[in-house]
Copies of this chain bind each other. A is one copy, B any other.
Amino acid sequence: MNNVVKIILAEDEPALGQIVKESLEMRNFEVLLCVDGEEAYKTYKIESPELLVLDVMMPKKDGFTLAKEIRKEDPNIPIIFLTAKSQTEDVVEGFNLGGNDYLKKPFSMEELIVRINALLKRKKNIDTLQTIELGEFTFDLQKQTLTHKNTTTSLTHRESELLHHLILHKDKVLERSFILKKLWGNDDFFNARSMDVFITKLRKKLKLDPSIQIINVRGFGYKLIY
C-alpha cells in the first residue's frame, strides 16, 4: 500500500548520479542509486522497484545485459536507458519497445521526469487491464497469479484459464460441456474428470477468502460466487 514510487538509478558517474537522485527525490520518488550493473541487479532483487533508470555504459555489467536479466523476471517493468553521445541510435531502438525508453546524455531533468511518468502510466494501464479483483484476491491472468494480501500463489495455465472463465460467468452457471469444449477440446468422460481435479485445486487456492465459493450445480456445471 505504499504510495511512493521506488526507482533504481544505475549510474557510475557519482556527480551525475547524485544530481539526478536528488532531483527525483524532490519530485517524491524514492531513488536507490547504484554505481554498477551488479549492484543494480542485487538491489533490484531485494527492493523490487517499479522502474529502472540504467546507464548503458557501466562497470561490471552494462545496462543492456542487466535489462535482459531483469526482463526474464519481470517482462513488464519499465526501463529507461541513459546513453552516451557515441552510442548509435539503432542499438537503442532495438530496445525501444514495450516498457522501455531511452535518453541521450546530456539530458534535462524535465525530459527524464516526463519519460518516467509516461512509462509509469503505461504500466499502470497494463497492470489494471490484466488484473481482476476477486473478493480479497487479485487475479492476474497474464502472470497466472492469485494475490491475497501479501502472498501470491502461482496458478498453472489450466487453473488460470478455468478460473478466468468462472470469473467471466460469475453468479451464473458455467456449463461443464462449454468449458470442456473450450479448454479441453471435447467433453468426454475423462476430460470431465480432469476438470473436476482442477476445480478441487482452485478451491484449495481460493480458500484464503472463504466468501468465495465454486458451487456445483449437479449435471450442469459450476457457479462462482463471492
Chain A interface residues (CB < 8 Å from chain B) = 1, 3-5, 23, 25-28, 109, 124, 127-128, 131-133, 142-144, 156-158, 168, 171, 213, 215-218, 225-226
Q: How many angstroms between the C-alpha atoms of A68 and B1 in the bound complex?
A: 34
Distance of A141 from chain B, by nearest CB (Å): 10
* Contact with A3, one of B26, B143, B156, B157 (Cβ below 8 angstroms): B26
B131 and A3 within 8 A (CB) = yes
10 residue pairs of the A-B complex, CB under 8 angstroms, read A3-B26, A3-B128, A3-B131, A128-B171, A143-B213, A143-B215, A143-B225, A144-B215, A157-B215, A157-B216
Distance of A33 from chain B, by nearest CB (Å): 16
Interface SS of A by simple majority = mixed
Nearest B residue (CB) for A139: B3
Q: How many angstroms between the C-alpha atoms of A158 and B215 in the bound complex?
A: 13
Contacts of A133 in B (CB 8 A): 3
Contacts of A3 in B (CB 8 A): 23, 26-27, 109, 128, 131-133
Distance of A119 from chain B, by nearest CB (Å): 14
Q: How many angstroms between the C-alpha atoms of A213 and B128 in the bound complex?
A: 14
Contacts of A124 in B (CB 8 A): 25, 28
